[in-house]
Amino acid sequence: MKQLQTLKEEQISLSLFENFDRQQYVTHCRRKIDGQWMVVETAFVEQWYEEDYRHRAEELKQTLREGGVVFAVFRQGMMKGFAAVESTFFGSRKQYLELSSIHVSADCRNQGIGRLLMDACKQWAKAKGAQFLYISAHSSVESQAFYTALGCREAREYSRLHVEKEPFDCQLEVEL
């Protein structure tokens, strides 16, 4: 049974990630080459270690301190997915709020946790007055398939800061 919770800052610590496996085997990624989207071979393993989890915990706490939201899905008391939405509007019409994190543990993917998290994030952002969630998303074919299945598309406006920070990410939006 999946249990969705809105986390508070005091709930976020390194121990929250004890049973969370952020591992992804990547073989192909989407890249925009000469204005066209292409799938290119690029094999690597995306793996988080203790320092990565510690850093993520601090980022999530910062999101909450700045008025954003963090959702988590638990199974048998263990966190198996989490997502965060930032509180600062941006875009030419201030139409975007950023979905800064959405991750599902490797052992629980393709079980509806990501969709549950995305739905909660969309509801929260819409209630705050956003028209779209903005996502600077990992370009792996698997990650892009996830976002496409949830109705995301290429962002009409790119955030320069996001592009500079992660030039290989795909800049996406989903309407609320």
> Residue 24: its pLDDT value, please?
87
Count of structural domains within the chain: 1
CB neighbours of residue 130 within 10 Å: 22
Residue among 6, 137, 153, 140 at smallest CA distance from 82 = 6
In this model, does residue 119 exceed pLDDT 90?
yes
Question: What mean pLDDT, rounded, does the chain reach?
Answer: 95
Instruction: Indicate the pairing of strand 132-137 with strand 96-104.
Output: parallel
Q: What is the pLDDT of residues 94-104, one digit of tens each?
A: 999 999 999 99
User: Quick one: pLDDT band at residue 9, thresholds 50, 70, 90?
Assistant: very high
Percent of the chain with pLDDT over 90: 88
Q: Give the whole-angstrom CA distance, residue 127 versus residue 121.
A: 10
> Residue 35: its pLDDT value, please?
87
In this model, does residue 26 exceed pLDDT 80?
yes
User: Quick one: pLDDT band at residue 45, thresholds 50, 70, 90?
Assistant: confident
DSSP string for 50-109? HHHHHHHHHHHHHHHHTT-EEEEEEETTEEEEEEEE-S--BSTTS-EEEEEEEEE-GGGT
In which domain, by residue range, is 102 found? 3-175
Q: Give the whole-angstrom CA distance, residue 98 versus residue 60.
A: 13
Q: What is the CATH number of the domain that holds 51?
A: 3.40.630.30
Report, as an integer, the average pLDDT of 131-146: 95
Residue among 132, 113, 112, 114 at smallest CA distance from 122 = 132
In this model, does residue 2 exceed pLDDT 80?
no
